[in-house]
Every structure is written in C-alpha cells, then in structure tokens.
Amino acid sequence: MAAPPRSLSAITALKQRCEDRLKHDEAKVKFLQDSVDTTSKTVDSMVGSARASQRLRSRDNLKKLLDLAKHVETYYGASIKLAPILEPGPAYNLEGYLAALKQLEEANLYFQRNNPRHPDVAHIQTLRRRAHQMMEKEFTTLVERFSVAADRDAVVMALEEQERDLERHGRLGEAPLALESDTVETLAGLVGWLEQTDEHAQCVKQYVKQRSRCMNDLMATARDESPLITPQSSLPRARSQINSKTPTRGFLRRPSEVRARRNTEASVLGRSHDSAAINYVQGTDPVLQHIRAFLAGARQELTLVQNIFSEDLQAAILHDVVLPAMEALRTSVRTMLDNSNRHLTEHSFFNLLNIYDVVTELHRKEPCFAAVLRYTEDGMFQAYMGMMLSVAEFGRRVTLEFQDMINTDASKKLPLDATVNELTAQALKFVNHAIDYREAVATVLRPDLAATRGELNWLKGEDANNMFCDWLRPVISTLTSNLLRKSRGYEDESVAAVFLLNNYSYIVRSLDSERFRDVMGQAASA
C-alpha cells in the first residue's frame, strides 16, 4: 500500500532543516580547517625556534668550551709562567703579586676538582705555600719595621693635643694613623688575601705581638714623663712652732704676753705626720698620665685595626693588643690604692687628694673609653668601669675617715703660745684642697654608691654643692667641738680662750674665700 503524500508545508520544513544542518556542518568544517592551519603554523614556528635555540645553545657551549680550553691551557702552564713573579716576593709589586697569586689559586682549584693527580699539582702547591710564607714574612717585616716607640717629646705632644681637643670639643674624633698610609694599605692587601685563604693566623699573632709592645712602650714613656710631686700648699705657713718637749701643763705665759696673731695661718705639722710634708699637687699623679696614654694608644690601635683587618677579626685583635696595657693601667691603679691606704693609715690626708683627681679623670674620660672599648670583646669596658668604681669606693672611705679622724683625734700636744693647733691646720688644708674636687667628693658620698653596678652616677652643679656642704658642715662642727675639748688642757682659762680665738679665727679666714662663698651660697639658695 503506497504512503500517503506529504503536505507541501511539511516538505518545506524538512528542506529548511536540511539546509540549516548543512550550513552548520560547513561552518564546523571551516573552523576545523582554520584550527589545523593555525596548529600547523604554530608547529612550524616552534620548530624554527627550537632549531634557533639549539643553534644558540650550541654556540654558547662552544664558546664556553673554547674559554675553558683556553683557561685549561693557562692552568697547565701556571706553575712555570707565574714562578718568576711569585718567587721574588711581594715587596715591590704587591698588586701584580696578588694578581699572579689569584691565577695560581684558580689553577690549584681546577686541578683539585678535575685532575688532582696531575704532575703540575705538586709544583703549584709548593709555589703557593712559598708565596704565602713570603707574604707572612713581608707582613711581619713591615709591622716590626714601623712599629717603633715614639720619643718622649712626641708622646707628650700627642697627649697634650688629645687633652686640648677634649677640652675644646668635649669629645674626640678619629685618631690619626700610627703608621704611614702606604704601609697600612700594603698590610691590608697582604692580610686581606691571607684572610680569604684562612692562613692569616700567623700574621695576626705577629701583629698583636708588635702593636701590644708599642702600647706598653707608650705607657712606659708616659710614666717616665709624669711630673714629679713637689711640696706645695695652698695656704701660707704659720710662724709658730711646737715644742713637744715642753709639757702642756705647767708654767705658761700670761695672757698679756700671748698675742692673737691675725696673720697666723697654716700648716703646723707634728712629727708623727712628717710623711705629709710632701703634698699632692693637682694633676701630678702618674695614673693620670697612664689613663691618657692608654686612651691615646687604644684610639690609634682601633684606627689601625679598622684599616687593616676585616670586621670579623677587629674585635679579637684590638682586645689582644690593648689587653696588656689595660692590665698595666689596672696595676697602676692598684698600686696607687695600696700607697693611698698606707697614707690613710697614717692620716696623711694631704697625699690622698690624688684619689679625687683620678676618679675625676676616669669619669671625664669614660665616654672616650666607651667609644674605643666597645669595639673589643666583652668585658674590657666593664673592667674599666670596675676600676673607676674601686677608686670611687676608696675615695668614699677617705672622705668618711677624714671626718672620723677629726672627731676622734685625742692628741694632747698643744701650742704653748696658744696659736693654731695641728689638727686645725690639717683639717682646713685638706678642706681647701677638697673644694677643687667637690664634684668627686659629692659623688663618692652618694648613699647609693655601694649599690652602683656598672656605672658611676656623677653629681655636678647644685647637687654636688649641696652634697659637699652637707659633708663640710659636720666637719667644721666636729672640729670646733674637738678644739673646745682640747682647750681644756690649758690651766689658764685666758690662754684657752686665746687658743680658741686663734683657731676659730683661722677657720673663718680659711673659709672666707670666693670659692667657698659661691659653693655655700648655691647650696643655701637650693
């Protein structure tokens, strides 16, 4: 049975669907054809790039191979080519010597990595070892030749210049080089190469030996240049004398015969205090010169070390160079304290003023020492601070025992003419000197001095004046009370009154100076 005929509309719709499908397939085929063309072009481009990259890489490899072959040719002839340059030593052409040594080192590394059994290896290592030995010898020779002790005049001038700079600017700049700049550059070049090869130990040892000797010579020269302590007093001497053979009690002159001498001033020393006849003069203690000399030498050594050695070695080298000088300085301070302890036992307070002088100098130089010693290994600056604190503690002991001596003095020796007593002369003479060190006296009297750890809190200005006056008032009060007790040793009350009048008048005139008025005035206003 035949199929029924389709309607015209159904045929038209079917035709339209077939045409749409055909167009879609044509677009798809065109897209695929374009993709194939693009892929083909990309592949061709990649192949070209790969070939170009391969050619470039091959060219680079060939260039490297040629360079390596050239270097290898140089390495194989290094021992023969460089021997004439290295065997004479680095004395006259350090730059060329170091360049040749660098080539020799490269050859040695090449053979160690690639052909350690090659016959040239032994020759290269022998030449290298000799070159390093000659560099060490040249370094040692230069250090020994130029590390000579300066003469005394030069040392004195350097220390004076250092003090002037500190006084003028309040700080110290970079110290000048102790060696010529050409010598420093040569030493830096020699040891710089040896540091790279870790063969600098012998150079460092010789450097420390020679430069520490220079520091010790500088300290010794400063000690020789220390001014001598000469007798000196800030007060005029009294004309009165003590007759120790005449008993205190017995026949005395009548009061009419005893004149109150208005101009009777100063130091009547008993025979038990003959050691105090030589009095300390400000600025003359040898320790002061040692401090200044150590600072000057340490500053120069710091500048040298920074210009010669690498930063990794500077702290250890500087520490080893200045350590013997620091020990000498500490020994000098200990010797001073031992001598001062003997003077303290004898109550020779005039010779103990150097304690205040030294502690003042140590405090004044503290920032300068900190600027230098902070480059050393740990402990060096702490040793300096401990030294300063030990002097300050002894100064506190001196100050307090002086006050105690005035209170407990039980001497029965009295001047027959009722003039100034020995105790009065000693006390006022010490006080007149101590006012020049009132900041040091005030600082060592701080209640918290014993609890100080690692630093010294310095008093100055009004605080120092107040503390000094707080110490001076009981000293004078105790002195007057002791004089009152001593006056009872006279049988004649009139003579006792003249004795007190002379001593009190002497105290007033001794303290009646512009310095004391300024100090007392500032303390009173505060």
269-319 residue pLDDT tens: 333 333 334 577 777 788 888 898 898 888 888 888 888 888 888 899 999
Token pair 């020796």: residue: 413
345 vs 34, 273, 357, 361, 424, CA distance in Å? 115, 11, 20, 25, 19
| Cβ atoms within 10 Å of 113's Cβ, excluding its own | 8
pLDDT of residue 525: 52
More confident residue, 512 or 341: 341
pLDDT score of 242 more than 70: no
CA neighbor of 120 nearest in space, from 105, 107, 129, 101: 107
What whole-number percentage of the chain has pLDDT above 90? 12
pLDDT band per the 50, 70, 90 thresholds, residue 521: low
Residue 194 forms part of a structural domain: no
Residue 423 forms part of a structural domain: yes
pLDDT of residue 245: 36
pLDDT digits (tens, 9 = 90+) for 476-514: 999 999 999 888 888 888 999 999 999 999 999 888 877
Residue 237 forms part of a structural domain: no
Task: Report how far residue 50's alpha carbon sits from residue 400's, in angstroms, rounded to the nearest whole number.
Answer: 96
Mean pLDDT in residue range 251-271: 35
The tally of domains found in the chain comes to 2
Residues listed for the chain: 526
Extract the tokens encoding 462: 């009004």
Last residue of a domain, one of 104, 119, 134: 134
Task: Report how far residue 27's alpha carbon sits from residue 82's, in angstroms, rounded to the nearest whole number.
Answer: 78
Last residue of a domain, one of 134, 152, 176: 134
Residue 414 forms part of a structural domain: yes
Residue 275 forms part of a structural domain: yes
Choose from 192-206, 265-279, 321-335 the range with maximum mean pLDDT: 321-335
Q: How far apart are the first and last CA of the chain?
A: 141
Mean pLDDT in residue range 50-71: 76
Task: Report how far residue 173's alpha carbon sits from residue 162's, in angstroms, rounded to the nearest whole number.
Answer: 10
Determine if the pTM surpasses 0.85.
no
Residue 150 forms part of a structural domain: no
Task: Report how far residue 18's alpha carbon sits from residue 56's, in angstroms, rounded to the nearest whole number.
Answer: 57
pLDDT of residue 127: 80
Residue 33 forms part of a structural domain: no
Task: Report how far residue 40's alpha carbon sits from residue 141's, in angstroms, rounded to the nearest whole number.
Answer: 77
pLDDT of residue 518: 74
pLDDT of residue 6: 58
∠ CA 243-248-250, nearest 5°, is: 115
Using CA of residue 509, residue 510, residue 514, residue 519, what is the dihedral sign?
negative
What whole-number percentage of the chain has pLDDT above 70? 80
Mean pLDDT in residue range 173-190: 76
pLDDT band per the 50, 70, 90 thresholds, residue 217: confident
Query: For helices 94-114 and 120-146, what crossing angle results, to 10°?
Result: 150
pLDDT score of 216 more than 90: no
pLDDT band per the 50, 70, 90 thresholds, residue 466: confident
pLDDT band per the 50, 70, 90 thresholds, residue 323: very high
Choose from 367-371, 375-379, 450-454 the range with maximum mean pLDDT: 367-371
Q: CATH number of the domain that 408 lies in?
A: 1.20.1280.170
117 and 265 belong to one structural domain: no
pLDDT band per the 50, 70, 90 thresholds, residue 462: confident
pLDDT of residue 334: 93
Extract the tokens encoding 186: 């040569």
Task: Report how far residue 45's alpha carbon sits from residue 50's, in angstroms, rounded to the nearest whole number.
Answer: 8
pLDDT score of 358 more than 90: yes
pLDDT digits (tens, 9 = 90+) for 389-440: 999 999 999 999 988 888 888 877 888 888 888 888 888 888 888 888 889 9
For 395, list phi and psi in degrees, rounded to 5. -60, -35
387 and 521 belong to one structural domain: yes
Domain encompassing residue 463: 221-228+258-525
Token pair 């030996």: residue: 209
pLDDT of residue 178: 67
Token pair 């006279």: residue: 490
Residue 5 forms part of a structural domain: no
Mean pLDDT in residue range 441-465: 79
Extract the tokens encoding 509: 């005139």
Last residue of a domain, one of 118, 134, 150: 134
Task: Report how far residue 33's alpha carbon sits from residue 24's, in angstroms, rounded to the nearest whole number.
Answer: 14
Task: Report how far residue 206's alpha carbon sits from residue 212's, in angstroms, rounded to the nearest whole number.
Answer: 10
363 vs 56, 121, 143, 443, CA distance in Å? 73, 61, 34, 11
pLDDT digits (tens, 9 = 90+) for 103-144: 777 777 877 777 777 777 777 778 888 888 888 888 888 888
**In this predicted structure, which of 32-36, 203-207, 243-247, 364-368 has the lowest mean pLDDT?**
243-247
More confident residue, 245 or 353: 353
Residue 325 · residue 298 · CB < 8 Å: yes
Q: What type of residue is 152?
A: R
Extract the tokens encoding 158: 């350097």
pLDDT of residue 314: 87
Using CA of residue 429, residue 432, residue 437, residue 443, what is the dihedral sign?
positive
Q: Between the CA atoms of 66, 71, 76 and 80, what dihedral angle is there, to the nearest 10 degrees?
A: 130
